[in-house]
């Protein structure tokens, strides 16, 4: 008999009672690999549903301690796996680990996700009840650890594993193996195990996740490649997925999309890649695949696509294959800010022409913009605004810069201030400017953001397009 795994999604906090939902691909991938290796796997996502008020303008999405205890007494797992991405979830994740050990001291607690990948041994230092952590992409390493635990063998050779020397719960000697290997052949992984998660809640919950008015429903998410080689100074995605872009074959993506449509009756696919169009020819093949197979699906790219790899042919193929809208990572309309501050080597002409190709293909474009990077000046922001306002966008999504741990931005700021606020208390943190240019004040940057947001009135247009697309899908 194999050991049984119970995976819990760490609770989250938000400023509103309802948060947008999409499926959690990382967990579905882990569940698929565990099943293939023969380990019974159960998932509990207690963040689904409405949040409970927990302070002024603050809502908690997660279970009470009593609910956790009840659930763990009922499930009695051999392994409690906790998925924790965000700093604001960590304390609650620790509480779940503590309850698990109280209910069943022999239960092994494993934590993974972005939080561990960024903070390494911190979770095990702060919570003695966590036995192991795994850094980064864990599809292989998690299964290796399960195999070792199942066979009661030494696990200390597992790539990216953080463990306690001597296996004492409160042992101080924490060791860690660096994360060195990433999965090159993504086609070899089982498809995300959508049947092991509350998929209806994710598919229909996406109605709240309108992605700036662009999401249809029911919707599922696809990861056609992992990682991105760009290295922007504000991004820490590579701590989970490494720096090398790794694509799946177009064939395998088409099989998954077909399954999404036929088995799950999805009407829409969110392409969640970090750099979907890194190889232009592959992106074209991807669109042609949908067209040739006649898959009736709409799709979009909520994570943004790159302006570096776009041309007229690709934009036209995107449209013909059902691309309903797209987000473009502009970040700043000032080349100086992008190149010297953000380490983003894109050019204004690339931004301009990509948006033109997409608009000509009648694909609505939303632009992502970040404001308040250290070293950015009022003049940069003015230049940026002028450039962005001239672009053919239906909407702009303007975010205040956040120095996430593990980014070059965080390292730069922490070199002179050891208490850099990394925005890890709550999602609400991202709603206020954390960094303000030297020659501006916080209110000015808030006003700047509002003005830029107000420059485009496309959300109404997007809602109309959404209704029209749904009508077409239903009559198809």
Binding mask 58-87 toward ligand B12 (x if CB under 6 A, else -) reads -----------------------xxx-xx-
CB of 412 to ligand SF4, least distance (A): 16
274 contributes a contact to ligand B12 by CB under 6 A: yes
Q: Which of 68, 138, 329, 398 binds ligand B12 (CB under 6 A)?
A: 138
Give dist(CA 205, CA 215) in Å, integer.
11
Residues 411-430 that bind ligand B12 (CB under 6 A): 427, 430
Residues 197-216 that bind ligand SF4 (CB under 6 A): none
Question: Which of 474, 451, 459 is CA-nearest to residue 215?
Answer: 459
Residue 7 phi, psi dihedral angles, 5° rounding:
-100, 130
39 contributes a contact to ligand B12 by CB under 6 A: no
Residue 232's binding partner, choosing from ligand B12, ligand SF4, none, with beta-carbon cut-off 5 to 8 A by kind? ligand SF4
Question: Which of 53, 109, 43 is CA-nearest to residue 78?
Answer: 109
109 contributes a contact to ligand B12 by CB under 6 A: no
289 within 8 A of 261, measured Cβ to Cβ: no
**Edge-to-edge strand ranges of the sheet holding 52-53:** 12-14, 59-61, 52-53
Q: Write out the two tokens for 270.
A: 């969110």
My answer on whether omega of the bond before 218 falls inside 30° of 0, hence cis, is yes
Q: Which of 6, 11, 29, 323 binds ligand B12 (CB under 6 A)?
A: 29
232 contributes a contact to ligand SF4 by CB under 6 A: yes
Give dist(CA 455, CA 393) in Å, integer.
10
274 contributes a contact to ligand SF4 by CB under 6 A: yes
Its sign, for the CA torsion 403, 407, 409, 410, is positive
Stretch that binds ligand SF4, among 228-236, 259-267, 286-294, 430-438 (CB under 6 A): 228-236
Considering the complex, state which of residue 271 and residue 318 has its C-beta at the smaller distance from ligand B12. 271
Residue 395's binding partner, choosing from ligand B12, ligand SF4, none, with beta-carbon cut-off 5 to 8 A by kind? none
Query: What's the angle, vertex CA 340, arms to CA 337 and CA 344, rounded to 5?
Result: 75
CB of 197 to ligand B12, least distance (A): 11
Q: Which of 72, 96, 123, 237 binds ligand SF4 (CB under 6 A)?
A: 237
Check residue 6 and report its DSSP letter. Answer: E
Residues 63-82 that bind ligand SF4 (CB under 6 A): none
247 within 8 A of 224, measured Cβ to Cβ: yes
Q: Show Cβ contacts of residue 91 under 8 Å, excluding neighbours closer than 6 positions.
A: none
The DSSP line for 122-173 is: HHHHH-TT--EEE-S--TTHHHHHHHHHHTT---TTSTTEEEEGGG-TT-S-
CB of 421 to ligand SF4, least distance (A): 20
Q: Write out the two tokens for 155.
A: 């696990």
Q: Which of 68, 72, 103, 111 binds ligand B12 (CB under 6 A)?
A: 111
CB of 241 to ligand B12, least distance (A): 6
Residue 272's binding partner, choosing from ligand SF4, ligand B12, none, with beta-carbon cut-off 5 to 8 A by kind? ligand B12
Question: Which of 76, 173, 94, 158 is CA-nearest to residue 130?
Answer: 94
Q: Show Cβ contacts of residue 90 under 8 Å, excluding neighbours closer than 6 positions.
A: 10, 84, 115, 123, 126
Stretch that binds ligand SF4, among 19-27, 47-55, 72-80, 230-238 (CB under 6 A): 230-238
**Edge-to-edge strand ranges of the sheet holding 108-112:** 41-44, 5-9, 79-83, 108-112, 132-134, 161-164, 174-176
CB of 195 to ligand SF4, least distance (A): 30
Binding mask 224-243 toward ligand B12 (x if CB under 6 A, else -) reads -----------xxx--xx--
Q: Write out the two tokens for 103.
A: 């209910």
CB of 329 to ligand SF4, least distance (A): 6
Q: Which of 103, 146, 228, 381 binds ligand SF4 (CB under 6 A)?
A: 228
Beta bridge partners of 8: 44, 82
Query: How many residues sit in the footprint of ligand SF4 (CB under 6 A)?
Result: 9
Residue 90's binding partner, choosing from ligand B12, ligand SF4, none, with beta-carbon cut-off 5 to 8 A by kind? none
Considering the complex, state which of residue 202 and residue 404 has its C-beta at the smaller distance from ligand SF4. 404
Beta bridge partners of 60: 13, 52
231 contributes a contact to ligand SF4 by CB under 6 A: yes
The DSSP line for 24-40 is: -HHHHHHHHHHHHTT--
Residue ranges in contact with ligand B12 by CB under 6 A: 12, 19, 22, 24-27, 29-30, 81-83, 85-86, 110-114, 118, 134, 137-139, 142, 223, 235-237, 240-241, 272, 274, 303, 404, 427, 430
Residue ranges in contact with ligand SF4 by CB under 6 A: 228, 230-232, 235, 237, 274-275, 329
């Amino acid at each position: 008999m194999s050991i049984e795994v119970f995976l819990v999604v760490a609770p989250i906090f938000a400023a509103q009672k309802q948060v947008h939902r999409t499926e959690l691909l990382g967990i579905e991938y882990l569940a698929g690999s565990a099943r293939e290796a023969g380990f019974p796997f159960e998932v509990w996502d207690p963040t689904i549903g409405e949040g409970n008020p927990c302070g002024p303008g603050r809502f908690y999405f997660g279970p009470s301690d009593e609910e956790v205890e009840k659930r763990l007494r009922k499930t009695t797992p051999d392994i409690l796996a906790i998925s924790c991405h965000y700093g604001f979830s960590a304390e609650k994740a620790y509480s779940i680990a503590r309850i698990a050990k109280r209910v069943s001291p022999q239960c092994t607690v494993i934590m993974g996700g972005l939080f561990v990948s960024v903070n390494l041994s911190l979770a095990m230092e702060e919570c003695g009840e966590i036995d192991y952590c795994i850094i980064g992409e864990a599809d292989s390493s998690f299964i290796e650890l399960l195999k070792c635990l199942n066979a009661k063998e030494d696990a200390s050779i597992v790539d990216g594993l953080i463990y306690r020397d001597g296996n004492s719960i409160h042992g101080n000697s924490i060791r860690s193996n660096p994360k060195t290997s990433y999965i090159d052949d993504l086609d070899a992984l089982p498809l995300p195990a959508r049947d092991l998660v509350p998929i209806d809640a994710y598919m229909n919950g996406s109605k709240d996740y309108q992605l700036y008015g662009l999401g249809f429903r029911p919707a599922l998410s696809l990861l056609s490649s992992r990682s991105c080689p760009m290295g922007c100074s504000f991004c820490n995605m590579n701590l989970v997925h490494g720096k090398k872009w790794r694509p799946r074959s177009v064939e395998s993506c088409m099989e998954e999309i077909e399954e999404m449509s036929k088995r799950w009756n999805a009407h829409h696919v969110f392409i969640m890649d970090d750099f979907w169009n890194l190889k232009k020819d592959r992106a074209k093949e991807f669109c042609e695949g949908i067209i040739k197979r006649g898959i009736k699906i709409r799709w979009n790219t909520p994570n943004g696509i790159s302006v570096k790899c776009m041309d007229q042919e690709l934009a036209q193929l995107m449209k013909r294959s059902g691309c309903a809208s797209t987000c473009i990572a502009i970040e700043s309309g000032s080349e100086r800010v992008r190149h010297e501050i953000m380490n983003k080597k894109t050019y204004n002409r690339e931004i301009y022409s990509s948006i033109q190709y997409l608009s000509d293909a009648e694909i609505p474009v939303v632009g992502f913009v970040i404001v308040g990077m250290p070293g950015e000046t009022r003049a940069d922001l003015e230049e940026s605004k002028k450039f962005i306002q001239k672009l053919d966008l239906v909407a702009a999504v303007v975010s205040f810069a956040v120095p996430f741990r593990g980014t070059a931005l965080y390292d730069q700021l922490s070199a002179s201030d050891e208490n850099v606020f990394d925005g890890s208390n709550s999602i609400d943190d991202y709603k206020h400017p954390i960094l303000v240019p030297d020659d501006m004040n916080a209110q000015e940057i808030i006003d700047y953001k509002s003005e830029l947001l107000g420059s485009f009135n496309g959300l109404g247009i997007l809602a109309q397009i959404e209704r029209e697309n749904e009508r077409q899908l239903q009559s198809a």
